[in-house]
Amino acid sequence: MSKLYEERMDRYWKANHREKPDKVPFRPFAAECVGAFYGLNSQQVTHDVDQGLEAVIKMCREFDIDATVSNMVYVWTGLTESYGTKYLGVPGIDLEVGESFQYREPRSDDEAWMRADDYDRFIEDPAEFTLNVWAPRMSKYFAAPGETNTWKNNLAWLKGGIGMMYYIMKINAHVQRMKDEAGVVSCLSGALKAPFDILADKYRGFRGISYDIRRQPDKVLKATEAVAPHMLNNALGGADPSKKTPVSHWMHRGATGFFSEEVFKKFYWPTLREVTEELWKAGYQTIYYAEGKWMRNLKYFLELPENSIIYHCDKDDIFEVHKVLGRKFAISGGVPNDMLAFGTPEDVRKRVKEVIEKIGSEGGFLLDAEAIMQQDTKRENFKAMADACDEYGVY
């Protein structure tokens, strides 16, 4: 297993740095589908972290996987129910048992976790705001400073802290199991969000940030600048000490379906570029997991240092993306999620062969689905993707 792990790590590292390893790495970002492969529904893998992690180990043993996410179903209700989340919709509690967990978008400014008049306090100290304002708003149990204390508040902070430590220790042990029992690389280490996405996803919501960029643009800019150091520290705090695996970065509101190029250039890109370059200076690559369509904005990524990112392609044409970014950065993705859900194994094999031949022939390519694989991915199609990578991906 140690030898197999080192082979896979070497393969993964070389592909991420646009070198040509012995074969194209298979690096699936598999989420609820992992549990489904082994008879578990979304409620089970969300509520029972041990069942979810055991399913990942089974997948790593069964399929020829080079690297994968240690646990893509990262909402564990042992933690989220301890503090009483209102921020997430959870299968089996708020949703049907077979649905994936959901982020809840605020429907009005009164329901937002951060309000339009909160910017000054947020800019002054994002950590203080998060602890004393944001957390009580998104929890059923946390009491804000100045409110009457309750036993539910005290217990939520205690159980939430215990839950977080318990979960992190579980993940750390699980990463070691992936290595020791399956020879599979845990493909990410450290987490980043674009400062603008922090505001648009986690605090103001899409509706709120859409108003704010018109009504108080200067404060939006100052807020992204205020939160950028926290995003950098968060990424570095969980990054791989050996600097072999990249930092994860889930990208949302910079996609072309949300805002214009002018908004992207002014609000989204400057602080994201700054944090990405600081990570690169510290020796870390960043996976740009670009959910949605980003073609119009790809030219900005060319401003980054060579090999500083691995670009994951979702809904754009991966062949066109490769023409723009392939000379500077590794590319991942290639297999449409609707094909994995509704197609046949032969469809998948043909697609894998096409993608590898057209953009993976010289290295710098990692095979994956277009987006995170949820409960509708067919097992036989997942197997066809892994097998085709072995058959067509050898250099």
- The DSSP result for 329-386, as a single string, is SEEEEEE-HHHHHHS-HHHHHHHHHHHHHHHSTTS-EEEEESS-B-TT--HHHHHHHH
Q: Are 377 and 369 in contact (CB under 8 A)?
A: yes
Query: Does position 234 have pLDDT exceeding 90, yes or no?
Result: yes
Q: What is the pLDDT of residue 243?
A: 96
Query: Does position 79 have pLDDT exceeding 90, yes or no?
Result: yes
Give the pLDDT band of residue 74 (cuts 50, 70, 90): confident
Query: Does position 49 have pLDDT exceeding 90, yes or no?
Result: yes
Query: Does position 162 have pLDDT exceeding 90, yes or no?
Result: yes
**Residue 37 amino acid letter:** F
Q: Are 380 and 345 in contact (CB under 8 A)?
A: yes
Rg (CA), the chain: 21
Q: In what order do the strands lie in the sheet with 365-369?
A: 191-192, 247-251, 286-290, 309-313, 330-335, 365-369
What confidence tens digit (pLDDT) does each residue in 143-152 have? 999 999 999 9
Listed residue (156, 202, 182) closest to 67, CA to CA: 182
Any idea where the domains of the chain sit in the sequence? 2-392
Residue 139 β-bridge partners: 85
Relative orientation angle of helices 217-237 and 205-215, to the nearest 10 degrees: 130
Q: Is 221 helix (H, G, I), strand (E, B) or coil?
A: helix
Q: CA-to-CA distance for 260 and 250, rounded, in angstroms?
A: 19
Contacts of 253 (CB under 8 A, 6+ apart): 194, 196, 197, 200, 201, 206, 209, 259, 268
As a whole-number percent, the residues of the chain with pLDDT over 90 amount to 96
What confidence tens digit (pLDDT) does each residue in 316-361 have? 999 999 999 999 999 999 999 999 999 999 999 999 999 999 999 9
Query: Does position 109 have pLDDT exceeding 90, yes or no?
Result: no
pTM of the model: 0.96
Tell me which DSSP letter residue 186 carries: E
Query: Does position 254 have pLDDT exceeding 90, yes or no?
Result: yes
Q: What is the pLDDT of residue 111?
A: 87
And the tokens for 369? 């689905």
Listed residue (305, 300, 236) closest to 270, CA to CA: 300
Q: Are 240 and 286 in contact (CB under 8 A)?
A: no
Q: What is the pLDDT of residue 237?
A: 95
Distances (CA, A) of 326 to 18, 234, 289, 330, 368: 9, 28, 15, 6, 16
Give the pLDDT band of residue 108 (cuts 50, 70, 90): confident
- Averaged pLDDT score across all residues of the chain: 96
- The DSSP result for 246-272, as a single string, is PEEEEE-TTSTTTS-HHHIIIIIHHHH
Please state the rounded mean pLDDT for residues 206-219: 96
Q: What is the pLDDT of residue 110?
A: 87
Q: What is the pLDDT of residue 106?
A: 87
As a whole-number percent, the residues of the chain with pLDDT over 70 amount to 100
Listed residue (178, 177, 152, 47) closest to 101, CA to CA: 47
Distances (CA, A) of 40 to 49, 54, 97, 239: 12, 11, 10, 31
CATH architecture under which domain 2-392 falls? Alpha-Beta Barrel (3.20)
**Residue 88 CA to its chain's centroid (Å):** 16
Indicate the length of the chain as a whole number: 395
